[in-house]
Amino acid sequence: MRSTRFKKRGPWIDLVLITSILSLIGVILFFTIINDDFSLRDNEANAAHSSIDSSITEEKSTFPGIRIISDISNDPKLPFALQYPQTNDELFNSMIEEYITSSKKNYINAMRLKKKTRKDEALSGELNIHFDTYQYDEVYYSFVFTERMSTNNTATKTTLKTFFYNIETAQVLDIRTLLGEDTKSLETFSSHVRQLLKSNNDLQNLSTEEVDLATEARWILFDKFAINEDNLIIYFDEGTIAPIEQGPISVNVSMSFLNPLLAEEFQMQMVEVDAPVEGLDDGTKKRVALTFDDGPHPQVTKQVLDSLDRYNAKATFFMLGNRVQYYPEIALDVLNRGHEVGNHTWSHPVLPKLTEEQIMNEFTTTENAIISAIGQESTVFRPPYGSTTDAINAMIPRDVAIWSIDTLDWKHRDANKLVQSVKNQMHNNAIILMHDIHQSTADGLNGVLDYLANEGYEFVTVSDIMPYVQ
């Protein structure tokens, strides 16, 4: 009978086994601790975020299906004011909320971290997020978020984020989809954006090299954009193509240029305008442009509009920004009734007495109020008192329109003198100055309209008559 013998295990095998087991235990412990640490940090961040005392409100916007959420901090040590849109689409809402929550957490964590490391300093910071909304072809909405954040005495950093959204299909679309994923269209588009940036005299100290790099034909470089009925707006973050102190840069690409490059579903039907037949109008056709300054007025402007409607007369309203802000619905009524909206500055100053910066501020603030009220820019500009210079006219990015007949309605305040003043000065292609803030002007307007209609004059806007004005 064969006996069974067991070979004795060497000591080096035991050592290897023990070492391997200890190493495995060490790895497990390491990852467990790391995971617990990350979980703790994440829980702390969530707790910090949820514990902030803030007031959240909801209100309707002027856009169908869009609501506005405002989240404002009540904690003076962690101030923030956040504004963002909500729709009936929960998926889109979640996407927006994820962006807002992430920005809010980053801000709160950065603030608290610096407070721990710099306990003896008086620290301050702020987070502000607001958005602008643009509508295109009724169903497309562009949401442009501007985020300004400073944490504990750091310089304010401004960043932009955009969403292009189809409210009917609940889809978020990008520039690639907009241009039909056509690389040739992208190349044409990028080249045009580059040219617009380099030729824009309002943009100072642009780096040619940075502009070239930022406008290469790459989809990702044009991911921040918005669309209105007139333009596609491309945004570049601060410091991308210009010094940081200039802030974010934007450039408008006209839809008339862009339309052929768009994917078919985004194209607008372009209206073909027949070229004028030479000799058809020799300038003898009787035209008149009625203009009204210094409005809108809650009562007088409405009465003026009703009188114009009775004679199917079109006019141009040169509006003050400080009045548009109070009566935006009347400004919109002016546009909806087919009239032209002009910019007449914010506060009616004598422009030659102002600095260039002050002049442009008067124009720009009024322009912003007009766009907010009617959804589009003004088309013409009138300097208060008609006081201007060639240098000022060159600064203003609009046709500058004065007048050829001053009714002095602002001086006489007499309805009967209004029509007589027009009769005494009337000539073809006249631009008549009146003011839609005086009740006497509204009362005397029917007489003016009746006289001009009987004389065979066609009522046109300033933009329509300017080619015929010497």
What residues are annotated to the active site? 293, 435
> In this structure, are residues 289 and 460 in contact, taking their beta carbons and an 8 Å threshold?
yes
Name the residue among 285, 292, 290, 311 with its Cα closest to residue 428. 285
Rounded alpha-carbon distances, angstroms, from residue 173 to 137, 216, 259: 15, 21, 17
CA distance linking residue 95 with residue 421, whole number of Å: 62
Task: Cite the beta strand spans of 348-398 per DSSP E.
Answer: 380-381
Name the residue among 299, 284, 291, 355 with its Cα closest to residue 319. 291
CA distance linking residue 302 with residue 281, whole number of Å: 34
> In this structure, are residues 447 and 305 in contact, taking their beta carbons and an 8 Å threshold?
no
Residue 398 carries which side chain, given as an amino acid letter?
Answer: R
Neighbours of 456 (CB within 10 A): 8
Provide the total of helices (H) and of strands (E) in the chain, helices listed first.
15, 18
CA distance linking residue 322 with residue 348, whole number of Å: 9
> Which residues fall within 8 angstroms of residue 434, CB to CB, at 6 or more apart?
290, 291, 292, 293, 407, 409, 418, 441, 445
